[in-house]
Amino acid sequence: MKTIYKNRNAEAEKLREQIKKYRPLSDNLLKQIGEYYRIELTYSSNALEGNALTETETKVVLEEGITIGGKPLRDHYEAIGHSEAYSLLFEIAKGKGIKEKDILDLHYLFYYRIDKENAGRYRKEKVIITGSSYLPPLPDKVPELMKRFIEGIPEMRRKYHPIKYAALLHKEFVGIHPFIDGNGRVARLLMNLALFQEGYTITIIPPIKRVDYINSLETAHTKGDIKPFINFISCMVYESLEEYLRIIGG
């Protein structure tokens, strides 16, 4: 049975206001929360793309530097690379906008251990999204499409509610699919960067929601109906805010 997601922007706003009452948080608590979400976002974002590391294994790899027997080396590289990109996200968030260099740097940190030649560089090959009927643009179109995408970010930010803006940022970026690999993970980092700059917390898309996530994106790309995806993201933001409030209030 298909899950129908309602828009929860207004409810998310109320949670964000509740969270403000707990601020400022102590440096120690902020550090602990930051590390908690480093594991959560790295695990969930990688798992959505088929990474075999469990949440506990991801924690061991990142905190202890231990490889997990029987798991692919690439999965370890993805965990370490995503962790480094996560750190950069907070540095970028100190600024007011999102630049092309920010996107390229996020991809480079995530991908350079896997394929240094293509890390932080737009693809030169045609790509196919497995399980989707959507065909990304040809590689020669990518630089111009990315230029327009970057130039359009300030207007999107002014025009839309922060959650819709972040969701559209994700959707438009994935639609271009500018890199040979790692587009989904960079899209989720961008979405979180946008949310964080607007005063929201890190948003997690649990692997258990993978089918709903992919289906709503597919609908946006192939049918032009963005409402299911925006509603889905609004629910993920709401649930993540609830979790954050539980952590700092409980």
Q: Are 38 and 202 in contact (CB under 8 A)?
A: no
Buried b (16+ CB within 10 A) or exposed e, 205-229: bebebeebbeebbbbbbeeeebebb
95 half-sphere exposure, CB direction, 13 A CA radius: 10
Widest Cα–Cα separation across the chain: 52
End-to-end CA distance of the chain: 35
- Is 177 among the catalytic positions? yes
Structure tokens at 215: 């289906």
Choose the catalytic residue: 76, 170, 177, 221: 177
| Active site positions, annotated | 177
